[in-house]
A = this chain, B = another copy of it.
Amino acid sequence: MATPRRPAAFRPPARRRLHESVAEQLRDAILDGRFRAGEKLPPERELAAEFEVNRTSLREAIKVLEGLGLVRVRQGDGATVRPLTEASLSVLPFMIHHDGRTDVQAVADVTEVLMPLFFEMARLAVERYRPAQLAALRALRAVVADAALAREARFEAVRQVLELVSDMTANRVWQMLARKTAAFLRSEPMRQARHDLRRDPGHSLPTIDRCLAALDARRPEDALAALREFIAGVGDVILDMRGARRRRAAS
């Protein structure tokens, strides 16, 4: 169940572990193409010296990259960079934005997958939702509507609507997928995009209300239509990133 969070005006102090910082730099290097698919990373001992960390820490970083599917490690041979298509979906946020650059094509690609996906999820949600989840939706609606709250807190409620809808499907896979997507929307590039656009979370309020009303009135068709409009609204935020970027580049 999605529970509302505290307003998030401040950011955590980002106290990262050593190997995280190393893994991050290597990850960006691969995503940048500084190491191409098929090429080998330098030997662990060499990299450790370059990063000025112990080989143990360097190895833990490599382990992370391996988990992300970015490299394949073989004893005796080194760490080979794998094609990006083989990588885990967890790297998507970083494909979209790293080292200060945004890949507009990647943004479009993600949206093209996500939209039809969530449209289908909405269908299952209105079919299977349970009464308690309706109450939860109402609670989230109140947060989105509360203009006294911080903007980011209200956006968080919008993301949690997405998670709640996934809960309604009573399907663990949809739930996982929705949580991955919400995490993606919480990521730094998305935060930046919202900031640039100065969008108001309230724009999704009418669709939520229409959905609630339709569910009360037992009109699943209308509820589905409203829900899909809501989802399309979330998608627009993503797509607007491209517009915002062009605008910035033009000015």
- CB of B172 within 8 A of CB of A109, answer yes
Do A179 and B86 contact each other (CB < 8 Å), given the known contacts A60-B60, A63-B63, A92-B173? yes
- CB of A176 within 8 A of CB of B89, answer yes
Interface of A, helix, strand, loop or mixed by DSSP = helix
Q: Give A121's nearest chain B residue, CB to CB.
A: B113
Instruction: Please name all residues of chain B whose beta carbon is closer than 8 Å to the beta carbon of A87 when the two chains form the complex.
Output: 176
Q: How far is the CA of A64 from the CA of B86 in the complex (A)?
A: 18
Q: Is A155 an interface residue (CB 8 A)?
A: no
Q: Give A113's nearest chain B residue, CB to CB.
A: B173
Instruction: Please name all residues of chain B whose beta carbon is closer than 8 Å to the beta carbon of A176 when the two chains form the complex.
Output: 84-87, 89, 92
Q: How far is the CB of A14 from chain B (nearest CB, A)?
A: 14
Q: How far is the CB of A177 from chain B (nearest CB, A)?
A: 7
- CB of B64 within 8 A of CB of A112, answer no
Q: Which of A142-191 contact B (CB under 8 A)?
A: 171-177, 179-180
Q: Give A172's nearest chain B residue, CB to CB.
A: B109
Instruction: Please name all residues of chain B whose beta carbon is closer than 8 Å to the beta carbon of A75 when the two chains form the complex.
Output: 17
Q: Is A56 an interface residue (CB 8 A)?
A: yes
Besides A85-B175, A86-B179, A117-B117, 15 new A-B residue pairs in contact (Cβ under 8 A), listed by A number: A17-B75, A59-B60, A60-B60, A64-B67, A67-B68, A84-B172, A85-B172, A85-B179, A86-B176, A88-B90, A112-B171, A112-B174, A113-B171, A113-B173, A117-B120
Query: Which 8 A-B pairs rank lowest in CB-CB distance, beginning with the nearest?
Result: A67-B67, A116-B120, A109-B173, A85-B175, A109-B171, A113-B173, A63-B63, A109-B172
